[in-house]
Amino acid sequence: MRSRAVLVVDDEPTMRFCLERLLRAEGYQVMTAAGRNDALARLAERSPDAVLLDVVLEDGDGYGFLGTLRERCGRPELPVVMMSARTRPDERQRGEAVGADGYLRKPFDIATLKRALDGLLPVAEA
């Protein structure tokens, strides 16, 4: 079975670790990055099937970085799900306005995460 590759971009080490473990247990291949520059380095290694992008990064914000991610992958259609602990109602709309395919409010559970990714990714090949 071909597993689907996800790039997790989050500046919180604990969040990266947890998401990596949870997604691997669900059969995803996972790459992680702590910020913008780290994410660009991972993209040079391999283009993921989807990106989980935190809104707040040490080296910038995810909203501004979204277009760069897709451009560097050479795939403007690359699915990107934004994640944030921000609770203002307009945060989701801001994510949609910059082209995010989904928005998850932290904390979220693995079922919610899987639904978000499964809705954007093709079925894994057998």
- For residues 11 and 38, the answer to whether their CB atoms sit within 8 Å is no
Burial-class residue 41 by CB neighbours within 10 Å (0-12, 13-18, 19+). Answer: exposed
87 domain-assigned: yes
pLDDT in tens, 91-126: 888 888 888 999 999 999 999 999 999 888 876 655
pLDDT in tens, 55-87: 999 888 899 899 888 888 888 889 999 999 887
66 domain-assigned: yes
Tell me the CATH number at 9: 3.40.50.2300
Range of the domain at 12: 5-114
Strands, E assignment, the chain: 5-9, 29-33, 50-54, 56-57, 60-61, 80-84, 102-105
Total tally of structural domains belonging to the chain: 1
